[in-house]
Amino acid sequence: MPDDEFDIVRAYDAIDDPALRSEFLDSIGATRPLINSLRRRRDNERSAAEATPSQDTSTPPSSRGDAPRRRVRRSPRRPRVIVTTRPPNRDRALRRYRRTPPTVVFVIILKPH
């Protein structure tokens, strides 16, 4: 594999024949989605490099570090409840207060003649 991962994209783009492109991908063990991902990263890095002005060297380095920090999502104060579910104790409560079904009793009286 080449030293610069974007060299793969340049080599892939230089091939015109689709069959040769497939053979190239097989030989380096890559896929088309990987090539597309590398191409997007390369283009994003180029556009970021063009968009940022040259930094002035007179600015002091920040004491917090150079890496930007991502905001951590706050945990909800109350856990999320799905509306369609029942509370966990509802089933037990229904079984506890259910009446016993009425019992049917047949009484047969036989009289001798």
**Which pLDDT score is estimated for 33?**
92
Q: To which H or E segment does residue 79 belong? A: none
**Is the pLDDT score of 3 beyond 60?**
no
* Model confidence, pTM: 0.42
What's the CA gap between 54 and 47, in Å, rounded? Answer: 14
pLDDT higher than threshold 60 for residue 110? yes
* Residue in the block written with tokens 């890095």: 45
Residue whose structure tokens are 């409840």: 81
Indicate the range of 16-25, 39-48, 78-87, 92-101 predicted with least confidence.
Answer: 78-87
What tokens does 104 get?
Answer: 């049917």
Please write the tens of the pLDDT for every residue from 4-62.
Answer: 788 888 999 999 898 999 999 899 888 899 999 999 999 998 888 888 765 555 555 55
23-29: Cβ within 8 A, 24+ apart: 28/1
pLDDT at 107: 92
- The 8-class DSSP code of residue 97 comes to T
- What phi, psi does 46 have (nearest 5°)? -65, -45
